[in-house]
Amino acid sequence: MPSYFITGTSSGIGLELVNQLSKDPANRVFASYRRSTPELEELARAPNVKTVLLDVDDQSSIENLTSQLPDAPLDVLILNAGIAKTFDPVAATARDMWLDHFVTNT
């Protein structure tokens, strides 16, 4: 029974990964989110999906992660979390916002 841990599962690619992987009942899917969505909550009704609160920009959230996971090992880690607060050119983006994007997305 392979287990998957996916960050950034509230929408987009992360949500679809949860959707696809959870279709196989042999898979265990740990879906992390910063803000839940109705779509993720619907997928979490599957017996092989567990949602996990995680803000990758918050150190205390990262430190609390292990308390939400079972002792069983994870087989696959998919780092999908990311932000896109602006689509302006880098030269036109405020330094703080650019750094927020860099820290979260790398």
Helix/strand/coil (H/E/C) assignment for every residue in the chain: CCEEEECCCCCHHHHHHHHHHHCCCCCEEEEEECCCCHHHHHHCCCCCEEEEECCCCCHHHHHCHHHHCCCCCCCEEECCCCCCCCCCCHHHCCHHHHHHHHHHHC
pTM: 0.88
The string of pLDDT tens digits covering residues 90-104 is 888 899 988 888 888
Query: For residue 22, what is the domain's CATH number?
Result: 3.40.50.720
pLDDT value of residue 83:
86
Of residues 68, 63, 60, the one with CA closest to residue 31 = 68
pLDDT value of residue 100:
87
pLDDT grade for 52, boundaries at 50, 70 and 90: very high
Segment 41-68 mean pLDDT: 95
Range of the domain at 47: 3-105
Residue environment code for 66-103, b if the CB has 16+ CB neighbours within 10 A, otherwise e: eeeeeeeeeeeebebbeeeeeeeeeeebeeeebebbee
Q: Position 70: which residue type?
A: P
Total domains, the chain: 1
